[in-house]
Amino acid sequence: MSKNTEVLYGLYNDEEILLDALRNANKKGIEVMEVYTPFPVHGLDDVLGLSESRLHIAGFVYGILGTMTAFGVMTWIFTRDWPIIFGGKPYFSAPAFIPITFELTVLFACVGMVVTFYTICGMGPGITNPVLDDRITDDKFCIAFNVNDASNEDINGLKSFFKETGAEEINTKTI
């Protein structure tokens, strides 16, 4: 991490209260840095204005790649590299290639998407990302603000926002 970020965060007890707080923040035009939840909360994407994940497009591309690899390699081997007659069938016996083509399509799409997912999320074996509060993966819902360049006044404003919207705890942490 190049630069440490000063974070002011509030913890909420329920996802409904969190969603209301975020709507409130939107109304006031407060810029939210990040929201952390213990489970996927429905409606959060809309409130935060997150665009739809494009992971499925990546998956489609990987899948097509798998289809072409499997079908292409089998065709090349059986018509060019080493043609053998099996049971009097033609060298290019497309129906017999279907099962492996299907399996490799699924394999490429899945492996590709999972690798893409961890890469774009900045996760993977051995990677440690800063945790704001240990209870976020348990039962607390967290809104975090970046207060690197915030004045005392701004910080007090954010704190009163947390109090107004029903946050249980307000803390700061440098990550």
Partner 1 sequence: MSAVVSPIREPLVNGGKTYHQITEDICSPTERAPSPMWIAAFIVAVACLGFGVASILWTIWQGIGTWDLNRTIGWGWDITNFVWWVGIGHAGTLISAILLLFRQKWRTGVNRAAEAMTIFAVICAALFPGIHMGRIWLAFFIFPYPNTRGPLWVNFNSPLLWDVFAISTYFTVSLLFWYTGLVPDFATVRDRAKGFRKKVYNFLSFGWTGKAKHWQRWEALSLILAGLATPLVLSVHTIVSFDFATSVIPGWHTTIFPPYFVAGAIFSGFAMVQTLMLITRKVLKLEDYITVAHIESMNKVILLTGTIVGVAYLTELFIAWYSGYVYEQFAFYNRAMGIYWWSYVGMMACNVLSPQIFWFKKARRSIFVTFFMSIFVNIGMWFERFVIIATTLARDYLPSSWSYYTPTWVEIGIYVGTLGIFFTLYLIFVRVAPVVAIAEIKSILKSAGDQYTGPNAQKHHEENKH
The residues binding partner 1 (CB under 8 A) are 14, 16, 34-42, 44-45, 48, 50, 52-53, 55-56, 59, 63, 73-74, 77-78, 81-82, 84, 86-87, 89, 93, 96-97, 99-100, 102-104, 106-107, 109-111, 113-114, 117-118, 120-132, 134-139
For residue 37, CA distances in Å to 34, 103, 158 come to: 10, 36, 20
Structure tokens at 25: 């923040």
Nearest residue (CB) to partner 1, 5 versus 93: 93
* Contact indicator for 20, 160 with CB cutoff of 8 Å: no
Nearest residue (CB) to partner 1, 55 versus 64: 55
Facing residues of 34 across strands?
Answer: 144
In the complex, what is the shortest distance from the CB of residue 173 to partner 1, in angstroms, rounded to a whole number? 13
Nearest residue (CB) to partner 1, 78 versus 162: 78
In the complex, what is the shortest distance from the CB of residue 58 to partner 1, in angstroms, rounded to a whole number? 9
Cα(69)–Cα(67) distance, integer angstroms: 6
Nearest residue (CB) to partner 1, 76 versus 160: 76
**E strand map for the chain:** 6-12, 34-36, 141-146, 169-174
* Contact indicator for 132, 33 with CB cutoff of 8 Å: no
Nearest residue (CB) to partner 1, 72 versus 156: 72
3-state SS, residue 132: coil
In the complex, what is the shortest distance from the CB of residue 151 to partner 1, in angstroms, rounded to a whole number? 27
In the complex, what is the shortest distance from the CB of residue 109 to partner 1, in angstroms, rounded to a whole number? 6
In the complex, what is the shortest distance from the CB of residue 68 to partner 1, in angstroms, rounded to a whole number? 15
Cα(60)–Cα(14) distance, integer angstroms: 36
Residues 6+ apart with CB under 8 A from 4: 174, 175
